[in-house]
Amino acid sequence: VNTAINSRAEALKLARLLGLDGPESLAYTQQVPASELLDYRNAVTELLYDDDRALLQRMADAASLLPVHTLATVAERALGAPICARLTGLLDPDLAEEISWELSIDFLAEIAAELDPRRAIDVLRSLPPDRTLDIAVAMAAHGEHVAMGRFVAHLGYARLAACVETLTDEDLLRIAFVLEGEERLEELFELVGLERAQCMLDGAESVGLGEEALDLLDHLNARQRKQLLQRSPG
């Protein structure tokens, strides 16, 4: 496994978490082992999510005092996606789902991009599959592949399959590169299918995703890699 590529993937995730313009803001991190960057990113995630936790919990508790349409208005026009993401895991899951029906798909995609899915699993599972797919498509349109990589581990098979079918090859390569919970990568590969995977890898260089393609190959199991190499011309 190419350690420099792994570090670049981690730098991408850390830059997203810190709200930096791009991974070039963290160019100096790319010589650091990915495992160290991962540990740091996990610590920063805890730091950002737990800061002002008591106040956020009071906000979440107070939400039950307001009508759902007011909560949706407050969410979209006053709080904004980053705060809503932190509140999502603190709200009663049923109330969170009710509010979500009042929010636009674009705003839900913005919330999802800020969300730590581990903290909102009940809410994620309560969303209907077609709504999950709409949110995924909007996230891809916003270029939120790093955030999407966090969700793969938390999507059931049917939702993941629908996303794979709908998203573009380029989207899937970008997501696979920053995937959290790499044990899902082999399943993702099976869902993509051999023929599409081959096209995806063959076309990667032309869209500037050569490193992402190499990284994908590195993370497949031996059988899958062999299948792909057998199909490769020359």
Partner 1 sequence: MLAIWPAAKTKPLASTARASRAADGSASPDPMSRAADRLPDPPASFDSEHAAQLTAQTEAALERQRRELALSIDKAFEYIPRPLRGTIRLALER
37 counts as binding partner 1 under rule CB under 8 A: yes
Phi, psi of 23 (to 5 degrees): -65, -20
Residue 79 interacting with partner 1 (CB under 8 A): yes
Residue pair 15/26 in contact (Cβ under 8 Å)? The answer is yes
With contacts defined by CB under 8 A, name the span among 30-38, 118-126, 131-139, 197-205 that binds partner 1: 30-38
3-state percent breakdown (helix, strand, coil) of the chain, nearest 5: 80, 0, 20
Q: What backbone torsions phi and psi does residue 213 show, to the nearest 5 degrees? A: -65, -45
Q: How far is the CB of 224 from partner 1 (least distance, A)?
A: 32
| End-to-end Cα distance, the chain | 23
Nearer to partner 1, 53 or 231 (CB): 53
Contact status: 59 vs partner 1 (CB under 8 A): yes
Contact region with partner 1 (CB under 8 A), list: 37-45, 155-163, 191-199, 215-223:
37-45
Judged by CB under 8 A, which stretch of 44-52, 121-129, 177-185, 196-204 contacts partner 1?
44-52
Indicate the residue among 23 and 189 with the shorter CB distance to partner 1: 23
Using rule CB under 8 A, residue 116 touches partner 1: no
CB neighbours of 197 closer than 8 A, spacing ≥ 6? Answer: 189, 228
